[in-house]
Amino acid sequence: MTSWTAADIPDLTGKSAIVTGANSGIGLPTALELARHGARVIVASRNPDKGRAAVEEIRRDAPGAQVEFGQLDLADLASVRRFAESVDRLDLLVNNAGIGLISRQETKDGFELQFGTNHLGHFALTGLLLPLLLKSPGARVVTVSSDAYKAGRIDLDNLGLTQGYGRMSSYARSKLANLLFMLELRRRAGKAGADLISVATHPGTTATNFVNVGPLKPLLPLFMHSPEVGALPSLYAATSPAIRGGEFVGPRLQLMTLSKTARSEALAERLWEVSAELTGVRFEAIAEAN
């Protein structure tokens, strides 16, 4: 597995992909390599200027690439719905966008911002796009998490974190939610007999805009790897025929062992139901079997 590179991505001609947060960080090389190998890629970004700039960069690096911009603000459920309604076909969804280590803020719908963006926004997006995904044999949902999830704790009675907020603890909680969602999506899709692979990734310590280090930025290459390297777990999870649902692909493409909390079916089911209630997205396409 460690010898796998982006050059090993199979021909994706005829496939359609969405990468959230594809205007920068690991999202940009993820979108670039998918497009380079033939996929039609939607660069989903909150900022139109940055999103369109990323599209042009991809076209310069991969002439002839089928790539377009789609405006998506994961911190606004109305924006999530508008974006989902604009998509006509889909084989691969990479839930890549994320924010972290910020002061307590709220989404437009009143959710704590890190949890609302990293988990609830992607939960809603995946549910709204699920009917399109299920039309494509072997469709995949790749959710980018982090090994920071190990420090996460989910109190379903205090999702707003109006008390006891911490920048890191909130981020860790959202990354734990990503993994619980990934596994519960796999379980529910399997129970419904849906041909869908749900998998998660951890990019490792990567030098991206996510890490706000000010004057230390020139030193990043000394202790962090590049976004191109950080994108490899996502690309492997998205395209390798060796991938199985429920796996957690980490740096050097090693499969990471999930904690007991992340593997808790009871917690995952409760989080799913609360998320459906908060977002109004109920995954009707697989709901009857669950």
Q: Write b or e for each residue in 14-47: b if 16 or more Cβ atoms lie within 10 A of its Cβ, otherwise e.
A: ebbbbbbbbbbbbbbbbbbbbbbbbbbbbbbbbe
Q: Which of 149, 165, 171, 236 is catalytic?
A: 171
Of 212, 206, 250, 248, the residue nearest 228 (C-alpha):
206
**Is 236 an annotated catalytic residue?**
no
Of 198, 205, 143, the residue nearest 175 (C-alpha):
143
Of 169, 122, 117, the residue nearest 148 (C-alpha):
169
* Measured CA distances, 237 to 20, 53, 172, 199 (Å): 15, 26, 22, 7
Are the CB atoms for 53 and 255 separated by under 8 Å? no
Q: Half-sphere exposure of 271 toward its Cβ, with a 13 Å CA cutoff? A: 30
Residue with tokens 């989903």: 44
Parallel, antiparallel, or unpaired for β 248-249 and 196-201? Answer: parallel
- State the catalytic residues: 171
